[in-house]
Amino acid sequence: MDLQLSGQSAVIVGGARGIGKAIAAEFAGAGANVAVLDRDPQVHHSARQLAAATTANITSFVCDVLHYGDLVENARIIKAAFNRIDHVVFTVGIGSGKFGFPFWNLEPADWPRVLEVNILGAVHTLHAFTPFQREARHGSVLLLASVAGQIGSQTDPPYSASKAALINFSQCAAKDLAPFHVRVNTLCPGMVKTELNRAVWEAWAKQSNEKHQNYEEWAEDKIRRVVPLGRWQEPEDIAAMAVFLASERGKNITGQTINVDGGFVMHW
Q: What CATH number did the domain enclosing 62 receive?
A: 3.40.50.720
Q: pLDDT value at position 221? A: 84
Q: Is the omega angle on the peptide bond into residue 179 within 30 degrees of 0, that is, cis?
A: no
Q: pLDDT value at position 249? A: 95
CB 262 within 8 A of CB 233: yes
Region of residue 262 (phi > 0: left; psi between -120 and 50: alpha; otherwise: beta): left
Is the model's pLDDT at 102 over the cut of 80? Answer: yes
Is the model's pLDDT at 122 over the cut of 90? Answer: yes
Within-domain flag for 265: no
Mean pLDDT, residues 224-236: 90
Is the model's pLDDT at 119 over the cut of 60? Answer: yes
Provide the domain count of the chain.
1
- Report the DSSP beta bridge partners of residue 37: 13, 61
Q: pLDDT value at position 76? A: 98
Q: pLDDT value at position 98? A: 86
Q: What is the pLDDT of residues 104-114, one digit of tens each?
A: 989 999 999 99
Q: pLDDT value at position 210? A: 60
Within-domain flag for 267: no
Within-domain flag for 3: no
Mean pLDDT, residues 187-193: 90
Which residues lie closer than 8 Å to 195 by C-beta, 6 or more apart? 17, 18
Q: Is the omega angle on the peptide bond into residue 189 within 30 degrees of 0, that is, cis?
A: no
Is the model's pLDDT at 209 over the cut of 70? Answer: no
Is the model's pLDDT at 239 over the cut of 80? Answer: yes
The structure's pTM equals 0.93
Within-domain flag for 1: no
Q: What is the pLDDT of residues 16-46, one digit of tens each?
A: 999 999 999 999 999 999 999 999 999 999 9
Residues of the chain with pLDDT > 70, as a percent, come to 98
Is the model's pLDDT at 47 over the cut of 70? Answer: yes
Q: pLDDT value at position 97? A: 85
Mean pLDDT, residues 98-123: 93
- Higher-pLDDT residue of 200, 143: 143
Show the domain range for 64.
9-259
Within-domain flag for 268: no
Q: pLDDT value at position 211? A: 60
The model's confidence at residue 4, banded by pLDDT at 50, 70 and 90, is confident
Within-domain flag for 200: yes
- Higher-pLDDT residue of 181, 155: 181
- Burial track 123-135 (b if 16+ CB lie within 10 A, e otherwise): bbbbebbbebbee
Within-domain flag for 249: yes
Within-domain flag for 182: yes
- Higher-pLDDT residue of 160, 221: 160
Mean pLDDT, residues 165-177: 98
